[in-house]
């Protein structure tokens, strides 16, 4: 598994569904460079079970992300047409209607490969035919990308394990606090709590109080 933290986020252009109902071409995270942070996350597939709980949970907290100047973008290996259909389906039918942030299509699986969250790999069989070893879907990868396009945080869960939206917000708060104040954030730090001056005196003071 590649560690992308500290590196430029892999760039791409692909189809996506925006505003819950509009398919666009050549969608790219580059549009946010210099303007917004990006929370870019992968989920395994449309019309599944854990995935809609996460997708809807991010939508429920979308105002909190917007307050922090963060664009939320989802991605799976499904087509834009599959995303669109799922976005038109009612919640009681297992759909995700009401989600407005962009959902990216990775039908070629190249985005998942570049972010190293694809749950398998391509190989050749005895007849020299291309085959996929593993599951041709993405793990639950999450990447926090700063306004310079650098990955500052990544988290990868196996497919059965849903993520915490509150933890994603906490991590964003920690990054932005560090950028604004130059102080580092200790274990379990939350917005409004004490941070640490990055000196020996700073950590000594923090641990003794």
**Are the beta carbons of 191 and 173 closer than 8 angstroms?**
yes
Half-sphere exposure of 151 (CA within 13 A, CB side): 19
> Which residues have a catalytic role annotated?
51
pLDDT of residue 1: 64
For residue range 60-117, list pLDDT tens digits in order. 999 999 999 999 999 999 999 999 999 999 999 999 999 999 999 999 999 999 999 9
Pairing of the two strands 70-76 and 103-105:
parallel
Domains and CATH numbers, the chain: 14-161 (3.40.30.10), 164-209 (no CATH)
Its pTM stands at 0.94
Using CB atoms within 10 Å of the CB of residue 58, give its burial: 0 to 12 exposed, 13 to 18 middle, 19+ buried: buried
C-alpha–C-alpha distance, residues 125 and 8, integer Å: 35
Query: Looking at residues 42-55, what average pLDDT do you find?
Result: 96
**pLDDT tens profile 125-142:** 888 888 888 889 999 999
SS3 at position 70: strand
Residue 5 pLDDT greater than 70, yes or no: yes
């Amino acid at each position: 598994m590649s560690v992308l933290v500290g590196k430029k986020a892999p760039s791409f252009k692909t189809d996506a569904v925006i505003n819950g109902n509009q398919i666009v071409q050549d969608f790219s995270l580059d549009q946010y460079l210099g303007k917004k942070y990006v929370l870019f996350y992968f989920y395994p597939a449309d019309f599944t079970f854990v995935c809609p709980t996460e997708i809807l949970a991010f939508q429920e907290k979308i105002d909190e992300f917007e307050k922090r100047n963060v664009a939320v973008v989802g991605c799976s290996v499904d087509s834009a047409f599959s995303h669109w259909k799922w976005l038109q389906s009612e919640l009681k039918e297992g759909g995700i209607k009401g989600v407005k942030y962009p959902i990216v299509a990775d039908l070629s699986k190249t985005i998942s490969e570049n972010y190293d969250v694809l749950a398998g790999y391509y190989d050749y069989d005895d007849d020299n035919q291309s085959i996929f070893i593993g599951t041709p879907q993405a793990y639950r990868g999450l990447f926090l990308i700063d306004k310079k396009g650098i990955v500052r945080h990544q988290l990868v869960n196996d497919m059965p394990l849903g993520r915490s939206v509150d933890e994603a917000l906490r991590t964003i708060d920690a990054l932005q606090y560090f950028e604004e104040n130059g102080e580092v954030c200790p274990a379990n730090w939350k917005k409004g709590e004490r941070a640490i001056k990055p000196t020996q005196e700073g950590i000594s003071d923090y641990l003794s109080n």
